[in-house]
Structure 1
Amino acid sequence: MHNDLAAALDIGGTKIAGALIDARGDILVRAQRPTPAREDGETVMAAVSAVLGELAADPRWERATALGIGSAGPVDASAGTVSPVNVPGWRDFPLVDRVRAAAGDRPVVLVGDGVAMTAAEHWQGAARGRANALCMVVSTGVGGGLVLGGRLHPGPTGNAGHIGHISVDLDGDPCPCGSRGCVERIASGPNIARRALDSGWRPGPDGDTTAAAVARAARAGDPAAVASFARAGQALAAGIAATATLVEIEVAVIGGGVAGAGEVLFAPLRRALRDYATLSFVAGLEVVPAQTGTDAGLVGAAAAAQALAGGPVPAAPPASSR
């Protein structure tokens, strides 16, 4: 991004975040509002406008050459619309047109949140320098994105690499997407917790029933908690192996809140991957944790904006410079 800045929006079911980001990936200005996810579409858009207004009030706004949006999906980049599953007031909502009104003559680029995370990891994180990678967010949902041939590959609608809705259990539980046995239905945080509870795990005195609490129980040896994470790892491994077989990725990068479980998740995932990634051209596939943390959506939206809007593709700084 050289001496210019990029503006970024990261839109999810919990928060709407915005930032101005420089050529090193450093966030210079932040703004954030809670997502009024259960309200009507215009109320949600008002929160987006408030974030944009706060960014635009900073003098550095004038240096922003593009604006990237990473949104919970599905998104349709070709139409500029979003229909986040967890924001029911937005169905085919014309987000790009509405944001463009505030962006002036800057190009506006829309990608799914998994693609945004992928852009961040390829620029600054664990996929840096890799020509072919799958990057995943495993959290309340499971999303992802692809790097192919050294470039971000969002696909025509901005959803390529959405591994969460690959079916890995043909007769499995119905998924909210309409399919059955999706990776997300097995490996997302809420489903890890649901399965542990159904199998007899019980929370501690604090009543915490999140996947993080299940991870703590798994580290302590609770069999239901261990089994739930093993099942999640198996589902992730099957989806990763299928993706690798299709497009020959060399690394799978996993981020998001569930990845914070560490080896409770990664150990069974890597074991299961040996059973699924068996062909010679995928047998060396690596699985590594993400490095860009909670700002991945913002940093990635900025990187995607520059890469996909025809501007200079941001180059990763030397490792010693960060």
Structure 2
Amino acid sequence: MDMRDIAKLAGVSSATVSRVINGSNLVRPETVERVRKVIEEVKFFPNTSATTLKYGRSGTYGLIIPDITNPFFPEFLKCFESIVVENDHEMLMATTDLHSGHMQQTIRRMLVRRVDGVALLASEIETEPFESLVHNRVPLVTMDRGHIANGLSDVAINNKSGMDQAMLHLKELGHKKIGYIGGSAGLTISEHRVEAFVRALKRVDLVPHPEFMRHGNYRVTGGMAAMTELLSLKDRPTAVLTANDVTAVGAMRVILKMGLTIPRDISIIGFDDIELSDIVHPPLTTLRLNRYDLAKTFYDALQHFKADSRTYGKRHVVKTNLVIRESTGPARKRTATGSSAI
């Protein structure tokens, strides 16, 4: 069965059926309803390849994420797909697996499928893969990279709002020696978060301690390794903020393994507010980056290029805010020997 059969059953022309399928506003509402009813009754699925060839648009958005094992990204993926499908679009997802060499292959997949735009949440991308997208007039929306141009928008994460709340919370609890476990060295998003951490400390009149700052890898292993180093210090921090919740989970694992308690001996704050953060023990205080808001912002940013793929891009911002749970508590004074005072 093809569009001619649908047109015959609905009593309209094939052109009208085509317009209904492609969301044209040139068809009367009652006609749209009649055609869609026939399509649903006969379970007709249009040939999207033919539509792409005719109109130059596939109705598909590409999504590139760095690490499917990080719970943040499946949670984002669920929200983004829901929004895309609700708006009669499709989604093509790919992952770089934190490997920059996979990016070129991933971009090629997107171009072969003729996606209408790409949402890129991977920060390790180099300049070269952009060239293929630009050459083929495929709009791109990046996360926290800070660049906009024709066909290029960026979604910035407002670390300041959440970081300021976190530092004020720790200061009110009596913490002065605050550490930080960041993300992978060299990534733009990692640099933005550590800079926001240092600035937030200074805004509440606390002194940054470089010896309390470590790189991680956005994974449990990075959190474990960095926290092991911090706990080996003779004068260690009383609270630690991490670049994401998965890193915080790794840090918490080491703290408990060494016979210390959270938050009595050391307070921990994560970043993202993944579902797991409210399940771990103790429940994790964290900076919430709302997944639905982030997904909707990416979708709206892609839609900005719907009329013209070379439209000049925009900078979008998504806020963070502190969610206080049980992993933060009053700072304990330390004795001259380095042990915690009761």
Report the TM-score, using the length of structure 1 for normalisation.
0.39
Q: Relative CO higher for 1 or 2, CA cutoff 8 Å, sep ≥ 6?
A: 1
- TM-score of the superposition, structure 2-length normalised? 0.38
Q: For the pair shown, which has the larger CA radius of gyration, 1 or 2?
A: 2
